[in-house]
Amino acid sequence: MDERALIGALGLVVLFGLIAIRLPVALAMVLVGVGGNYALSIVAPFLRFEPYLAQFKTLTWSVVSNYALSVVPLFIFMGFLAAHANLSRDLFQGLNVLVGRWRGGVAMAAVLACAGFGAVCGSSLATASTMGRVALPELKRLNYADGLATGALAAGGTLGILIPPSVALVVYAIVVEASVVAMFQAAILPGVIAVALFVAVIAVRVRLNPALAASAPPLDASARRAALRRLIPVVTIFSAVIVGLGLGLFTPTPAGAVGVFAVLVYGVILKRCTGTGLGLSELVDAVRDTAVTAGMIGFILFGAEVLKGFFARSGLPAVMADWAASGAVEPWTVLVLMLLGLIVLGCFMDSLSMILVVVPFLFPVLMELNGGDWALAADAAYGMGAEDLKIWFGILALVVVELGLITPPVGLNVFIIRAVSPGVSMGTIFRGVLPFFGVELGRVALILAVPGLALWLPRLLL
């Protein structure tokens, strides 16, 4: 490894060090990118520092003017509108009518509601926070065990990353130059499997220990019909976005606009009928929150471009790819090590930061191991071509990022649930989340062993 690659490796260490001391990820990337390029200009004078700085005149605009990113603020706005319109409450109450009468059914309804709200919201942290506030009071009222209640919500919150439409899926697709629609299609079946496994965990636990949960008291017919009617708008909104994308009726950005319009109509009608939906103040809050979140994502994307320029000049990605291609380590071993590393990083970093910092390093290595851009599936190390590898690895990466959100001792979702459940210890929440963590490991192994779980739907709808 030459001096330039060593500076690149040192820059990577410094980057994770800055993130570990809680410096904002975007700022850490900019500092390492600029500082690293200055160091490169010293050891390699032909890599002049001034031309590198000159790119900043247009870099910011080129990042934020990318049309593919226009879908991101739309999906973010849709999520904030849904939260302010109390969609999460309606979703939970409607699902509770369907499954709440079973033992453990209210916890199952909470997981299903997390999946439904995650489909509209697209953020795991927001899903955990919102559904925690909605479902925990009902779970406590019915005397559910603290570990089961908080564990189900912490695990259910992770579904926000994978269930489409997901901002993380959009950003990953842009980073590896994959189809956003194909990524959405690929995420559906693994997402359904996750929901089914989480519900199964709850069912098995209450079967083995009935004291963990009780059945909800039955509702009268009119209350049941009213709660079920609240599911209709949610199903309609989800179908309008996902089915429209899957059938090719519109591309991701129009799909985001359709979703925003549908949630807006739902919220305004709800306000008119019940006085609990979207008013002017809620709309202003949603716009402001969207602007803040979209601005943060834009800053992270800008930092990622600055960092990418530094690493490209250092030659570190090429060195890593050459090392992988040398045959020193088996391709499947490299993939498993990458996934384990992502689980660990998921304990400390949010999903977008991980995708923008880590994936640009990992994916070129996988591509080189697989045989390059033009590898045929029959000859490739992972048994698939480049386009399929982008999709399969993306689903795997997001699943293990989900795992990081509930990994002891510092899973971010666990801290969020702890914040909305005063009186419940961190140890109780982590013990409650362990069975869900176990089945998530099983899901990773299943997708590794059967890539078709992620690739079947995109191939079918091609």
Domain positions in the chain: 68-293
Peptide bond into 165 cis (omega under 30): yes
Average pLDDT, the chain: 82
The torsion angles phi and psi of 364, rounded to 5 degrees, stand at: -60, -35
Beta strands in 47-166 (DSSP E): none
Alpha-helix residue ranges (DSSP H) falling in 44-86: 49-54, 56-64, 71-84
Q: Structure pTM?
A: 0.85
pLDDT tens digit at each of 462 positions of the chain: 678 888 888 988 888 888 878 788 888 888 988 888 888 888 777 777 777 777 777 887 877 777 777 888 888 888 888 878 777 777 887 887 777 677 888 888 889 888 888 777 767 777 888 888 888 888 888 888 888 888 998 888 888 778 877 788 888 888 888 888 888 889 889 989 999 999 999 999 988 888 888 766 666 677 677 777 777 877 787 777 777 776 667 778 888 888 888 888 888 877 666 666 677 788 888 889 888 888 888 888 888 888 888 888 888 777 777 776 676 678 888 888 888 888 887 776 777 777 888 888 788 888 888 776 665 555 677 878 888 889 999 999 888 888 888 877 667 788 888 888 878 888 888 888 899 989 999 999 999 999 989 998 888 876
Query: 26 with 300: CB under 8 angstroms?
Result: yes
For the chain, the straight-line distance linking the first and the last C-alpha, in angstroms and rounded, comes to 43
- The single residue listed with the structure tokens 């060593």 is 6
Under DSSP, the state recorded for 218 is P
Provide DSSP, 406-427: T-TTT-HHHHHHHHTSTT--HH
